[in-house]
Amino acid sequence: MVDVFSPLTPGFIVVYGRRGVGKTTLLLQLLKEHDSSGRALLTRRDSVIAEKLGVSEKVDVIQRSLDLTLWLKTAANLLLWSRRASSPLLIVALPLELLLVPLDETSMRHFGRLIVVLTMIAESACVFLEVTENPKFMLPYRYFLLAELSERFYHMARGRRVRVISRVRIPLPEVGETWSHDEIAKSLTFERRAILAPLPDAWGFRVMRIVQTH
C-alpha cells in the first residue's frame, strides 16, 4: 500500500471518499505495512477495524467524537511521539460530525489549536487525514480548510468489485476571489493512481495495478 501514496514525505495527505468505501481499512492496512513508526487517531466506531487488522496497539481512540478537549490532549501527546519517532506516519480519521456540527466559540478555538498541533506534527511526519466525501461536489467536506494544509488529495471510489484510488487536483480561487463550490467541482481533475481489490479471505485490499505518474 505504500506505493499507492508514495512518496510518504512529511506533510499532509488527504484521503476522501464516501462512507463505507474502505478508507479506514486502507489506511490502517498501510499503517500495518509501514516499516517505520506509525500511529492512528480514530474514533471508537473506527477502532473496530483496527482490531480486525491487528493494529490496535498502534491506535489512540477518541471515545467521544465531539470532545475537542480530548482530541487536543491526544494530539499533543502524538506531537511528543513524532519528535522521538523515526520516519513517523500518522493517520487521523476526522469524523463527519466533527466537521459539520456547528461549534461554539470555545470549541472553535479548540479546533483551531488541534489543526495547529497537527500541522506541527506534519513538520516531521507524514500525516494522513481521512475525510468523508460530499457527494454533491465530489469534494471532501471542509475542503477549503484542507486545501490550506495540503495539495495532496486522493479520492477513493467504489467500482465493480474493485476500489479506484485517484490523485485529485483541486483548482483554488485567487486571493480575494469568491469560493464557488460549483465552479471548483466542475474544474476537478482525477488522475487514476491505483486499482485495489478486496481480499477474498481476510480484512483489507490487494493492489491490482499501480498507475505510474510523471
Output the pLDDT for position 35: 67
Q: How many CB atoms lie within 10 A of CB 191?
A: 12
Q: Is there a contact between 122 and 164 (Cβ–Cβ < 8 Å)?
A: no
CA 147 and chain centroid, separation: 13
The pLDDT of residue 75 is: 96
Q: Evaluate whether 118 touches 82 at the Cβ level (below 8 Å).
A: no
Average pLDDT, consecutive stretches of 10 residues, N- to C-terminus, the chain (214 residues): 87 96 95 86 91 93 87 95 92 90 81 95 96 94 90 94 94 78 90 94 89 66
Residue 108 has a pLDDT of 85
DSSP assignment letter at 88: -
The closest of 91, 11, 101, 98 to 47, measured between CA atoms, is 91
Note the pLDDT of residue 182: 87
Other Cβ atoms less than 10 A from the Cβ of 25: the count is 20
Contact 110, 68 (CB under 8 A): yes
Helices (H) and strands (E) in the chain, counts: 8, 10
* Amino acid at site 48: V
Enumerate domains of the chain plus CATH numbers.
8-158 (3.40.50.300)
Query: What pLDDT is stored for residue 83 in this prediction?
Result: 92
Residue pair 57/77 in contact (Cβ under 8 Å)? The answer is no
Predicted pLDDT at 157: 96
* Residue 100: predicted pLDDT: 84
Report d(CA 69, CA 201) in Å as an integer. Answer: 40
First to last CA, the chain: 19
CA distances from 2 to 6, 35, 105, 116, 208 (A): 6, 10, 39, 26, 14
Distance CA 66, CA 45 (A): 13
pLDDT of residue 160: 86
Query: How high is the pLDDT of residue 36?
Result: 66
Question: Which pLDDT score, from 0 to 100, does residue 200 have?
Answer: 87
